[in-house]
Structure 1
Amino acid sequence: MSTIGKAIRAARMASGFTQAELADWIGIRDGNQISRWERDVVTPSADSVGELKRVLGVRLDNSSGDTVSC
């Protein structure tokens, strides 16, 4: 089973974004937030998941962090 953090990291890496670049693209001021999501320290909000889907072009099935698919 994959976590939302692992899915975000895989999609970001496949897209060629750095964490800072992805943060800029989705409108987050704190680039460290991407790192916290990828490490599953915190789960992104529903709005952030929507932006991640839009920018990365992936499907994140469960924004609660349980299971995801890319």
Structure 2
Amino acid sequence: MSTIGKTIRAARMASGFTQAELADWIGIKNGDQISRWERDVVKPSADSVGELTRVLGVRLDSSLGGSISC
């Protein structure tokens, strides 16, 4: 089963962003937070999920364990 972290990582890599670039695009301070999400240390907030959706062009649904749709 895919986790939301794995889904974020796959979408980020498919979009060609580094963690730092993605962090900048969604308005967070640095790529460390992106790394924490991708490793499933913490889950992104609802606001961050909205920004990830906007920037990466995918829908992330944390309630379904990290599903992704275009």
Poorly superposed stretches of 4+, deviation over 3 Å: none
Give the conservation status (yes or no) of the 8 Å contact 1:43–1:65.
no
Q: Which residue pairs with 2:65 in the alignment?
A: 66
Q: TM-score, structure 2 length as denominator?
A: 0.90
Number of residue pairs aligned between Structure 1 and Structure 2? 69
Match of 2:31 in 1: 31
Q: Which one has the bigger helix percentage?
A: 2
Amino acid at match of 1:53: T
Unaligned segments of structure 1, at least 5 residues: none
Written as runs of structure 1 = structure 2, the 5 A alignment for 1:6-17 is 6-17=6-17
Determine the C-alpha separation between the residues in 1 that align with 2:4 and 2:64.
5
Which sections of structure 2, spanning at least 5 residues, go unmatched? none
TM-score (norm 1): 0.90
Which of the pair is proportionally richer in strand? 2
Q: Percent identity?
A: 81
